[in-house]
């Protein structure tokens, strides 16, 4: 059973010099191989994204620019993460409900997913999600 203890903040390697910083993700940087990359941008600060769980897919969320809040729920407890560093990613394992909100102006959320888009992998009803946990 997946629990919030399975969630990890990942810090990516950074090369720093006087020309600016370069962060990278390669090889074993993530605990899974990613097959899809997508990003959220121009999200109004009053809007919420997410509102679902995955059955199989792993995802890592990164605040490339700006900041946003990620609220996670495993069906038993809830925890909030504030993402605002482009070299830190939040690895979300399957079976965790996620909601994204409080986007700052200019925020960009990059998502690295272990699978291609598959509607059948989503649980979009929170009550159905909670029932699947008991």
Q: Which of 52, 104, 55 is nearest to 73 (CA)?
A: 52
| Tens digit of each residue's pLDDT (9 = 90 or more) over 89-111 | 999 999 999 999 999 999 999 99
Residue 30, phi-psi category: left (phi > 0), alpha (psi -120 to 50), beta (remainder):
beta
Residue positions annotated with a catalytic role: 52
| Tens digit of each residue's pLDDT (9 = 90 or more) over 10-26 | 999 999 999 999 999 99
How many whole angstroms separate alpha carbon 44 and alpha carbon 24? Answer: 28
pLDDT band at 2, cuts 50/70/90?
Answer: confident
In the chain, the percentage of residues whose pLDDT exceeds 90 is 95
pTM of the predicted model as reported, rounded to 2 decimal places: 0.95
């Amino acid at each position: 059973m997946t629990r919030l203890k399975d969630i990890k903040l990942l810090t990516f390697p950074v090369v720093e010099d006087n020309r600016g910083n370069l962060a990278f993700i390669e090889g074993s940087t993530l605990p899974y191989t990613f097959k899809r990359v997508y990003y959220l941008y121009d999200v109004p600060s009053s809007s919420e994204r997410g509102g679902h769980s995955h059955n199989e897919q792993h995802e890592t969320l990164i605040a490339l620019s700006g900041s946003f809040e990620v609220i996670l729920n495993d069906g038993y407890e809830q925890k909030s993460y504030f993402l605002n560093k482009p070299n830190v990613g939040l690895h979300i394992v399957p079976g965790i409900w996620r909601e994204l909100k409080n986007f700052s102006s200019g925020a960009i959320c990059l998502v690295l997913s272990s699978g291609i888009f598959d509607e059948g992998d989503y649980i979009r009803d929170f009550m159905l999600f909670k029932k699947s946990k008991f």
